[in-house]
Amino acid sequence: MPSIARPQGDAALKHQREFAILASLDPENTGKVDQKDMEEYASRYGCESEVKKLSGDEIKFEDFAQAFHKDGQKVEGKGNCFGYAAKDDSGKMEPYKFERRTCDSNDVHIKITYSGMCHSDLHQVKNDWAGATYPMVPGHEMVGVVVQVGKDVKKVKVGEFAAVGNMVDSCQSCEYCKQDEEMFCNDIVMTYNSKKGKGPGEVTYGGYSSHIVVREEFVLKIAPNLHVPGGAPLLCAGITVWSPMRYYGCDKPDVKLAVQGLGGLGHMAVKFGKALGQHVTVISRSDDKKETAMKELGADDFLISKDEDAMKQAAMKFDAIIDCVSAPHDLQQMLSLLKPSGKLIILGIPTKPYEITASSIIPKRRMIAGSLIGGVKETQEMLDFCAEKNITSMVEVVTADKINESFERMHKGDVKYRFVIDVQASMINEE
């Protein structure tokens, strides 16, 4: 095992990509890396021959950095960050350079390694919800390595793994911020497409980019076993289903749970339901996902929403349904599956309003509820639970040049179950 000491001073920032690769190879900072792991990384990043030339028991960080170095992608525009942006509501994503602020006293600068692609990104680049500002750099599910911290930062240190989700700032003093529900703060700053950002442009840019600078309060800590592509989607898909499961009491083992829409959010709900000991049924449009749902995610049952007989037989069977569907659909049909006092928890955000009759909820005292992401404290709680149980998202890793194609496939529901961009491999900034 060759030894490579982590560099001191500003080298982590200067060579942020290579520093993050070293931290990934040696998460415990032992000063040693496994030769095989190093070669595996080299083949992923297309620098096998350079890395093979690194010889001896002791490798200098400068030599390691040079071997893993890749020239930045040439893109029009100026700035210290490289990402992918939509320029208009066609939603077509293109390489884009922009400026991020430098680290302030309570900021953390994170080199992004993996970035999840949420269906909300697709809604937003296409301006489905109105209020889009272009160019828009989406992405609110990212994990990475800390390469610089401001002088007052206590939560994380340089070289540690960290993550960022949907929010990057809030007032920190209103009643919601005080009760760890920052998502309800009137001054909430979302990770992208938020006009209250600090610094250049004052519009926030998200995780489809080479790095991010975030105030400490919105940085999440992650264990090394979550610093993998499947760890990134926990930051939105994970917390968005975890939070209502906790809030609405759907986290008990005796809850009979159904999950509708087996995409990024839905498959995490299945995983959490199973980890909590529940009986979990998936409701999907076809049987395409049946095998993976039952065999790999551990679902107990699988219902096809178009199969009217099967749906009738499932009437009044569930305590709760988590609805993760991204498009308009029939809520009445879903409500009929609930037991008395059952809860239909809506998480998907289609553009058209739903139609329901009073009689679908009144006689059986059923409840329709909604939920928005989750607070920072609760996100950390969910991440710690996942680290302990080794729960990650089931992902298809893509390079940045596949973002458009991945959006198209997401639109058709052709994803098992989250696309994650390998940022380290495919968004190379000039350093």
Ligand X SMILES: NC(=O)c1ccc[n+]([C@@H]2O[C@H](COP(=O)([O-])OP(=O)(O)OC[C@H]3O[C@@H](n4cnc5c(N)ncnc54)[C@H](OP(=O)(O)O)[C@@H]3O)[C@@H](O)[C@H]2O)c1
The residue number whose beta carbon is nearest to ligand X equals: 263
The H or E element containing residue 423 is: helix 423-426
The item of Zn ion, ligand X, none sharing an interface with residue 329, based on CB under 5 to 8 Å by kind, is ligand X
Provide the total of helices (H) and of strands (E) in the chain, helices listed first.
Answer: 15, 17
Buried b (16+ CB within 10 A) or exposed e, 68-94: bbbeeeebeeebbbbbbbbeeeebebe
* From candidates 123, 211, 227, 271, binder to ligand X by CB under 6 A: 123
DSSP notation for 150-167: -TT--S--TT-EEEE-SE
Contact yes or no for 303/282 (Cβ under 8 A): yes
Closer to ligand X at the Cβ: 220 or 415? 415
Interface with ligand X includes 427 (CB under 6 A)?
Answer: no
Contact yes or no for 115/208 (Cβ under 8 A): yes
* Burial class of residue 49 in the structure, from the number of CB atoms within 10 Å of its CB (0-12 exposed, 13-18 middle, 19+ buried): exposed
User: Closest Cα to residue 374, out of 227, 247, 261?
Assistant: 247
The item of ligand X, Zn ion, none sharing an interface with residue 194, based on CB under 5 to 8 Å by kind, is none
Minimum distance of ligand X from residue 369's CB (angstroms): 11
The item of ligand X, Zn ion, none sharing an interface with residue 320, based on CB under 5 to 8 Å by kind, is none
Interface with Zn ion includes 331 (CB under 5 A)?
Answer: no
Contact yes or no for 110/20 (Cβ under 8 A): no
Interface with Zn ion includes 174 (CB under 5 A)?
Answer: yes
Interface with Zn ion includes 185 (CB under 5 A)?
Answer: yes
* From candidates 327, 332, 341, 388, binder to ligand X by CB under 6 A: 327
Q: How would you write 237-274 as a 3-class SS string? A: HHHHHHHHHHHCCCCCCCCEEEEECCCHHHHHHHHHHH
The item of Zn ion, ligand X, none sharing an interface with residue 83, based on CB under 5 to 8 Å by kind, is none
User: Closest Cα to residue 272, out of 237, 313, 232, 248?
Assistant: 237
The item of ligand X, Zn ion, none sharing an interface with residue 174, based on CB under 5 to 8 Å by kind, is Zn ion
* From candidates 42, 164, 222, 415, binder to ligand X by CB under 6 A: 415
Interface with ligand X includes 324 (CB under 6 A)?
Answer: yes
Name the one range near ligand X by CB under 6 A: 27-35, 98-106, 344-352, 357-365: 344-352
State how far the alpha carbon of 323 is from the alpha carbons of 268, 320, 373, 406, in Å: 12, 10, 14, 23
* From candidates 177, 234, 235, 258, binder to Zn ion by CB under 5 A: 177
Closer to Zn ion at the Cβ: 123 or 366? 123
Judged by CB under 6 A, the number of residues near ligand X is: 30
Tokens found for residue 340: 């008395």
Interface with Zn ion includes 320 (CB under 5 A)?
Answer: no
Q: Residues 6 or more apart from 136 whose CB is under 8 A from it?
A: 85, 86, 124, 125, 192, 193, 205
Contact positions with ligand X (CB under 6 A) in 212-271: 236-237, 240, 261-266
User: Closest Cα to residue 372, out of 270, 234, 243?
Assistant: 243
* From candidates 97, 119, 279, 317, binder to ligand X by CB under 6 A: 119
Interface with ligand X includes 322 (CB under 6 A)?
Answer: no
DSSP symbol at 294: I
15/196 Cα distance (integer angstroms):
30
Minimum distance of Zn ion from residue 224's CB (angstroms): 24
Minimum distance of ligand X from residue 261's CB (angstroms): 3
Question: What does the binding site for ligand X look like in residue numbers (CB under 6 A)?
Answer: 118-120, 123, 236-237, 240, 261-266, 284-285, 289, 324-327, 329, 347-349, 371-373, 410, 413, 415
